Structure 1
Amino acid sequence: MTTTVEIKTYYNFINGVWAPSVSNEINKSLNPADKNDVIGYVQKSNEEDLNEAVQAAKQAKEAWRKLSGSERGEYLYKAAHVLEKRIDEIAKCATREMGKTLVETKGETARGIAILKYYAGEGMRKVGDVIPSTDSSALMFTTRVPLGVVGVISPWNFPIAIPIWKMAPALVYGNTIVVKPASETAVTCAKIIECFEEAGFPAGVVNMLTGPGSIVGQGIADHEDINGITFTGSNGVGKQIGQAALARGAKYQLEMGGKNPVIVAADADLELAVDAVITGAFRSTGQKCTATSRVIVSSEIYEEFRQILVKKTKEITIGDGLDSDTWMGPCASENQLNTVLSYIEKGLEEGATLLTGGKRAKKGIQANGYYVEPTIFDNCTPDMAIVQEEIFGPVIALLKAESVEEALQLGNNVEYGLSASIFTTNIQHLLSFINDMEAGLIRINSESAGVELQAPFGGMKNSSSHSREQGEAAKEFFTSIKTVFIK
């Protein structure tokens, strides 16, 4: 007798209640490592659902705002404790739903816990300054007030950390929230919201609904009762959201694409540089906005570096992220796989030399998933699509430079400016890189990907709206300054 395992349907969370969408339509969430594995069903929400969620957040905002910062922080501490209890379950769900390895999703969940604890502590920190007045009999000071209702639009590549690093500061600074996760990882987000529910957040303070970005995401941008929007995703969508928010005077924060370079100077530690490039480019299957995608190498060491890089790349094991032997999992979806394969084809058409990879991986279990080989191109020129455009996959373009100055010019020769790294032991090269590299995150002798939660994060040029997330910098977006004069 065959036992059928029932696949759970996950509802929207609005005003403290889990409920189906008004449309009664649902979408499947599939495992990219095995497309026959259905993770769950999620709601296909519409404008009516969004209006209900926004109304709930609007009604809850006044009581939430009037709590002290430490009281709001206590809720975040409780959510962190619940998430900690469920770390294995939620990490496994994220691996099944997004594809990255279990080691990575456990680390990401641990980071989410740390973010919640960090911002819980923010509830006890200062929110203003006393400013001398020209009137000796007056007192003048500043304080900070929440925006009101904040719309959170999060991507699929970090389904735990990114929603939390947006939700936690929004909440501790007194805002209520409406969260719209990427459809590809909506089940993981629902499990995170369950942690907030178990922590006892008042009804309406935290709301989540799932559905297409063209309806729910754009609806958040257009909604007159949403006072601030924090978005991470593609440049095209981000610009649409920014334009819609600007048109109605809402505050917005956009974190978008990257085309991140690593410069390897002639004096670099080659083994260190190669290992960092491989980790930065191929962990999470290259699906990080800070992933390494261009490697600019001094001509003096180019041949040796290339040889070591290709050798180590060929040793990478590709498979299901739940398998402990897997180093790199699949692309997160069929669409993403096709995007990566199309860029590989463009690289070949433009005349780049394929050193390794370049094909869909189909051996054994890989046949049912969205796997692609880690890919390295040589003989790349600055104007090629694989050098200029964000691929969001495990593809490296190698470039040769005669000097660090030329390497910096090549590094800056793109529309993005999110992160960048250099490997060098020369202090002058290091200082030139810090001063001249056009990127919001600069890393020395370390991979391009990654930022610590207590530090500001954001990009330059077309990588962001020039605001910053995480650390104390989050306060700048999620609050407004109020100046008080007392006579």
Structure 2
Amino acid sequence: MPQAHSYYCDGEWVDSDSGETFAVRNPANPDDVVAEFPKVTVEETERAIEAAVDAQEAWASTPGPERGAVLRRAAALLDERSEAVTETLTREEGKALPEARGEVGRAVDILYYYAEKARDLGGDVKASSSAETTLRTSVEPLGTVGLITPWNYPIAIPTWKLAPALAAGNTVVLKPASMAPTVARELTDCLAEAGLPDGVLNVLTGSGSVVGSTITEHEDVDAVSFTGSSSVGSQVGETAAATGKRVQLEMGGKNPTAVMPSADPAEAARIVADGAFGVTGQACTATSRAIVHTDVYDEFVDALVEEAESKELGPGLDGYGMGPQVSADERESTLDYVEVGESEGATLETGGGVPAEPRHETGHYVEPTVFSDVDSEMRIAQEEIFGPVVGVIPVGSFEEAVDVANDTEFGLAASVVTDSLGEAERFGDRVDAGVIKVNEKTTGLELHVPFGGMKASSSETYREQGDAGLDFYTTTKTRYINY
């Protein structure tokens, strides 16, 4: 029997009045029900928001080092349980064990990082133009914040929103994604056992149209941070802004890697394959376009096909390096884009179908897919696919590569593979993306530097992670004291 979970409100796990539940299924074996969670109602969401509001003043007045100590204890608890949480993450989301293990470790590191940052939130002293005036700033929390998080990084993304919010003294209402909420429950247990006061964190499961909309519209929620699709993010942003909330949106991407003539084609293909097929292509920073100079184009395509065909697909818990997509709908969407690419005239070099080994019969698997002869105007070069599909676009110059890289509505991550320092620097200057990499895959982020996109990839309001991650959750007062 799958474990039946409750939702978390005011320090307690509570059964929903609705009596309705939803099942979380293993993408590698959909008959395996990992857990069941309640569909929380509007009224229950409102009670959770009220609990957060009631707890906020006391939490905000708790000294920063004490708030940090709670995060530090939670990090230690999560670290102790990391292998069990890793297996749960793989079972409910589908990614390979090393990928899941890295994600859990990332969550641990984020908690430790913001535990120390909580000591530094006092403000600054500035020199006044008056000899009789002290001039200083103080940093204060916004109040109660709503966090809406996706399924593809179901513990890392909630943690990188939660940790700075809590470190700064805010209370939180969190809605994790319904396809992978179990690890958010594990994170919540660690924070509760670490001494987080009742009401400071509330975790609600259910539909976006009920829970997410209530959080976004509620007058007592001071800010909303959302990560997910561009279509949903735009709706969240409009609704939250209409009620005067501070808004942070991180959304889709159509991330390019440009490969220049000085690059080693085999090494460039490895970089692109890691970015395109890691986490089954289900990352907003995944490489989906390889923009390749004609001088190395044919060699690159051959090497990328070899990389794609070397991937071993199967259940993450059985040790395979690439898992299934998270759901049947996600797989069908990817397969639909394969048909679109073929209909548009791109050449399907490899993949594009469902693997046929016995271990693939029950899961939502898609073969790593490479298209060549892709034109920048094609849908597969413009629209986010969110699966293991990469299109290779030929270009004749560095300048054309930059133009093609910028030729989408998105601007999240971009990379260039080159031995030319000048090309590397010019690429960073001219490409419209929030994350620029040189001789690296587009995926993978350091936790202590800002992360966010441009154009339709982001609200372009506040960055996440690092010191910038605290800016969204705080406001500043300037104090003039004439003595």
2:349 corresponds to which residue?
355
8 Å contact from structure 1 (residues 355, 375) kept in 2: yes
Q: Which runs of 5+ in 2 are unaligned?
A: none
C-alpha separation in 1, matches of 2:94 and 2:2: 19
C-alpha separation in 2, matches of 1:158 and 1:451: 13
The yes-or-no answer on 1:425 pairing with 2:419 is yes
* 1:16-415 matches, cutoff 5 A: 16-324=11-319, 326-415=320-409
8 Å contact from structure 2 (residues 352, 369) kept in 1: yes
8 Å contact from structure 2 (residues 333, 385) kept in 1: yes
8 Å contact from structure 1 (residues 420, 448) kept in 2: yes
The yes-or-no answer on 1:475 pairing with 2:457 is no
Deviation per CA, 1:69-128, whole angstroms, max 9, x where unpaired? 100000000100110111011110010100000111111101100000000000112442
C-alpha separation in 2, matches of 1:184 and 1:359: 23
Deviation per CA, 1:35-91, whole angstroms, max 9, x where unpaired? 110001011111111011101101100100001110000000010011011101111
SS in 1 for 2:146: strand
SS in 1 for 2:391: strand
C-alpha separation in 1, matches of 2:106 and 2:256: 25
Which amino acid is the alignment partner of residue 251 of structure 1? R
Which amino acid is the alignment partner of residue 72 of structure 1? R
Q: CA deviation at 1:136?
A: 2.0
C-alpha separation in 1, matches of 2:52 and 2:355: 45
Quick check: 467-476 or 267-276, which moved more? Answer: 267-276
8 Å contact from structure 1 (residues 32, 330) kept in 2: yes
Deviation per CA, 1:383-440, whole angstroms, max 9, x where unpaired? 1110000000000000001111100000000000000000001111111101101100
C-alpha separation in 2, matches of 1:108 and 1:313: 23
C-alpha separation in 2, matches of 1:123 and 1:214: 34
8 Å contact from structure 1 (residues 179, 207) kept in 2: yes
Which amino acid is the alignment partner of residue 370 of structure 2? I
C-alpha separation in 1, matches of 2:183 and 2:125: 43
C-alpha separation in 1, matches of 2:8 and 2:430: 46
C-alpha separation in 2, matches of 1:151 and 1:126: 21
C-alpha separation in 2, matches of 1:273 and 1:352: 21
The yes-or-no answer on 1:451 pairing with 2:445 is yes
Quick check: 428-437 or 122-131, which moved more? Answer: 122-131
Q: CA deviation at 1:192?
A: 1.4
Deviation per CA, 1:137-194, whole angstroms, max 9, x where unpaired? 1111111110100101110000110000000000000001011000000112111111
1:3 corresponds to which residue?
none
8 Å contact from structure 2 (residues 40, 206) kept in 1: yes
SS in 2 for 1:13: strand
Which amino acid is the alignment partner of residue 445 of structure 1? N
Deviation per CA, 1:235-263, whole angstroms, max 9, x where unpaired? 01111111111111110100000000000
8 Å contact from structure 2 (residues 110, 159) kept in 1: yes
Which amino acid is the alignment partner of residue 213 of structure 2? Q
SS in 1 for 2:390: strand
Q: CA deviation at 1:363?
A: 2.1
8 Å contact from structure 1 (residues 362, 371) kept in 2: no
C-alpha separation in 2, matches of 1:411 and 1:41: 43
TM-score between the two structures when normalised by the length of structure 1 = 0.98
TM-score between the two structures when normalised by the length of structure 2 = 0.98
Which amino acid is the alignment partner of residue 29 of structure 1? V
Quick check: 88-97 or 267-276, which moved more? Answer: 267-276
C-alpha separation in 1, matches of 2:134 and 2:240: 36
Which amino acid is the alignment partner of residue 343 of structure 1? Y
C-alpha separation in 2, matches of 1:84 and 1:14: 25
C-alpha separation in 2, matches of 1:138 and 1:233: 47
C-alpha separation in 2, matches of 1:267 and 1:46: 58
C-alpha separation in 1, matches of 2:110 and 2:212: 24
SS in 2 for 1:435: helix
The yes-or-no answer on 1:436 pairing with 2:430 is yes
8 Å contact from structure 1 (residues 22, 48) kept in 2: no
C-alpha separation in 2, matches of 1:366 and 1:191: 29
**Alignment identity in percent?**
44
Quick check: 195-204 or 157-166, which moved more? Answer: 195-204
SS in 2 for 1:398: strand
C-alpha separation in 2, matches of 1:362 and 1:148: 52
- Do the aligned partners of residues 47 and 126 (structure 1) sit closer, same or farther apart at CA in structure 2, a change above 3 Å counting? closer
C-alpha separation in 2, matches of 1:39 and 1:356: 33
C-alpha separation in 2, matches of 1:272 and 1:68: 50
8 Å contact from structure 1 (residues 155, 232) kept in 2: yes
C-alpha separation in 1, matches of 2:425 and 2:271: 20
Q: Which runs of 5+ in 1 are unaligned?
A: 1-5
C-alpha separation in 2, matches of 1:132 and 1:247: 38
Quick check: 360-369 or 390-399, which moved more? Answer: 360-369
Q: CA deviation at 1:272?
A: 2.1
